[in-house]
Amino acid sequence: MMRLNPIPLLILFVMILAVDLDARPNLFVKAKGGSFYVNGKLYRFVGANYWYGGLLGLEKDKKQGIERLRKELDFLRSQGVSNLRLMGGAEGSGLLNGVTRVGPPLQPEQNKFDESVLEGLDIVLAEMARRKMKAVIFFSNNWEWSGGFQQYLIWNGVVPGKWLAQKPTWDELRDITAKFYTCRPCMDGYRKQTELILGRTNKLSGMKYTDDPAIMAWELANEPRPMRPAANDAYRRWIKETAAMIKSKDRNHLVTLGHEGYVGTEDIKLFDDIHADSNIDYLTIHIWPKNWSWFASGKLAEGLPTVVAKTEDYIKENTAVAMRLNKPLVLEEFGLPRDGESLDPYSTTGVRDSFFERVFSQIGRRNIAGANFWAFGGTARPAKGQVFWKAGDEYMGDPPMEEQGLNSVFDRDSSTWKVIRRFAASSQRRNRTT
For 39-85, the DSSP string reads TTEE--EEEEE-GGGGTGGGSSSHHHHHHHHHHHHHHHHHTT--EEE
CB 349 within 8 A of CB 357: no
Q: State mean pLDDT over 21-29.
A: 72
Among the listed residues 33, 80, 148, 146, the one whose alpha carbon sits nearest the alpha carbon of residue 373:
80
pLDDT of residue 338: 98
Q: pLDDT tens digits for 215-254?
A: 999 999 999 999 999 999 999 999 999 999 999 999 999 9
pLDDT at 429: 86
Whether 18 shows a pLDDT value over 70: the answer reads: no
Note whether 376 and 398 are within 8 A (CB). no
Q: How many CA atoms, within 13 angstroms, populate the side-chain half-sphere of residue 432?
A: 6
Average pLDDT, the chain: 94
Give the Cα separation of 264 and 260 in Å (integer). Answer: 5
Query: Rounded to a whole number, what is the distance in angstroms from the first to the last CA of the chain?
Result: 56
Quick one: CA dihedral 138, 103, 64, 374, positive or negative? negative
- Summarize pLDDT for 47-105 with one digit per residue, the tens: 999 999 999 999 988 778 999 999 999 999 999 999 999 999 999 999 999 999 999 99
Peptide bond just before 301 cis, omega within 30 deg: no
**pLDDT, position 5:** 58
Contact between 289 and 311 (Cβ < 8 Å)? yes
Note whether 365 and 320 are within 8 A (CB): no
Per DSSP bridges, beta strands 95-96 and 99-100 are antiparallel
Q: What DSSP string runs through 92-119?
A: --SEETTEEPPSS-SBSBTTB--GGGHH
Backbone angles phi, psi at 32, to 5 degrees: -140, 120
SS3 369: strand
Q: What is the mean pLDDT of residues 131-144?
A: 98
Cα separation, 229 vs 268, whole angstroms:
13
| Statement: residue 1 has pLDDT above 70 | no
Q: Are 114 and 199 in contact (CB under 8 A)?
A: no
| SS3 label, residue 127 | helix
CA 281 to each of CA 244, 276, 306, 317, 335: distance values in angstroms, whole numbers, following the listed order = 12, 9, 32, 19, 25
What separation in angstroms does the CA of 114 have from each of 103, 162, 255, 293? 11, 26, 25, 40
- 293 contact partners, CB below 8 Å, separation of at least 6: none
Give the pTM.
0.94
In angstroms, the CA 59 to CA 65 distance is 6
CA–CA separation, 57 vs 368, rounded Å? 33
Q: Is 433 exposed, middle or buried (0-12, 13-18, 19+ CB in 10 A)?
A: exposed
pLDDT in tens, 139-195: 999 999 999 999 999 999 999 999 999 999 999 999 999 999 999 999 999 999 999
CATH 3.20.20.80 for the 40-433 domain, yes or no? yes
The phi, psi pair for 402, rounded to 5°, reads -110, 155
Cβ 403 vs Cβ 394: under 8 Å: no
Report residue 123 CA to chain centroid gap: 17
Contact 335, 9 (CB under 8 A): no
Q: What percent of the chain has pLDDT over 70?
A: 94
In the chain, what are the domain boundaries? Answer: 40-433
- Burial (CB count <10 Å: 0-12, 13-18, 19+), residue 308: middle
In this predicted structure, the answer to whether residue 300 has a pLDDT above a threshold of 70 is yes
